Amino acid sequence: MNCCNTSEHAVVILTGAGGGIGRAIAVKLASAGMKLVLLGGNNLEKLEITRQEVEKFSSCLVLPGDLTDTAFLADGVRKAHQHFGAIDVVINNAGVAQNTAFENVSIEEYDRIMAINARAPFFLIRNALPFLKSSDRATIINIASVVAHAGYPQQSVYTASKHALLGFTRSIAREYYRDNIRVHAICPGGVYTDMVKISRPDLTPEGMIMPEEIADIVYFFLANRGNAVIDEICVHRVNKEPFLI
């Protein structure tokens, strides 16, 4: 199938759009004619930058708020559908990293990481599901991590959350295949984003994946929507250890 038949003018809900991978995805999809709903986040300055970039190409609705609040997720989905009249794609990109020794992880840190990385995607998709079932191009893309297949020191909760996200993705991919909903997971290795700069200040962009490369993969899924139950792609540079996200 070509992209004009499968993705042009699709309505996309995207989390974590304030920068990095999320902003790159938003701009890439907008440049292909898709309409964007930037859901969640409270850094209005960063969201505004993304909105301006998106609106160079397409329509954009910004709905800032707390992704850990299930009422916000439900209201966001309702407003997205009310504004654009459809929901065709959900992309769970928002994530929180970790650089804490296992024995020092607090209950608060555990709850926050699991809530954003695993719980929010679960309930966002559940709220969007009735609208996705009505779409002829329904697609869910969850941005997981290479740590969904491995584990690194001082990333115990982050690793657990991404394992949870990948397992959840695999399950619903098969559960909703016959409803014509395609579900994909992308598991990047080292992507040079602000989150990585904070968590791993010792890393440099040389040899790392750039956010635009992940955006290209997302676009490929949407422009070439096929019959796969799940397409799970792990991406990392062969000359670098894939430390984080």
**CB 176 within 8 Å of CB 183:** yes
The question of whether 158 is a catalytic residue gets the answer yes
Exactly one of 110, 152, 158, 192 is catalytic; name it: 158
Asked if 190 and 208 count as a contact pair (C-beta separation under 8 A), the reply is yes
Return the structure tokens found at 21.
């991978």
Distances (CA, A) of 175 to 31, 67, 83, 171: 32, 24, 29, 6
Give me the residue label for tokens 């250890």.
241
In the block, which residue shows the tokens 């062969």? Answer: 238
The full DSSP string for the chain is --HHHHTTT-EEEEESTTSHHHHHHHHHHHHTT-EEEEE-BS-HHHHHHHHHHHTTTS-EEEE-B-TT-HHHHHHHHHHHHHHHS---EEEE---------GGG--HHHHHHHHIIIIIHHHHHHHHHHHHHHT-TT-EEEEE--GGGS---TT-HHHHHHHHHHHHHHHHHHHHSGGGT-EEEEEEES-B--HHHHHH-TT--STTSBPHHHHHHHHHHHHHT--S-SEEEEEE--TTS-----
Residues tagged active-site: 158
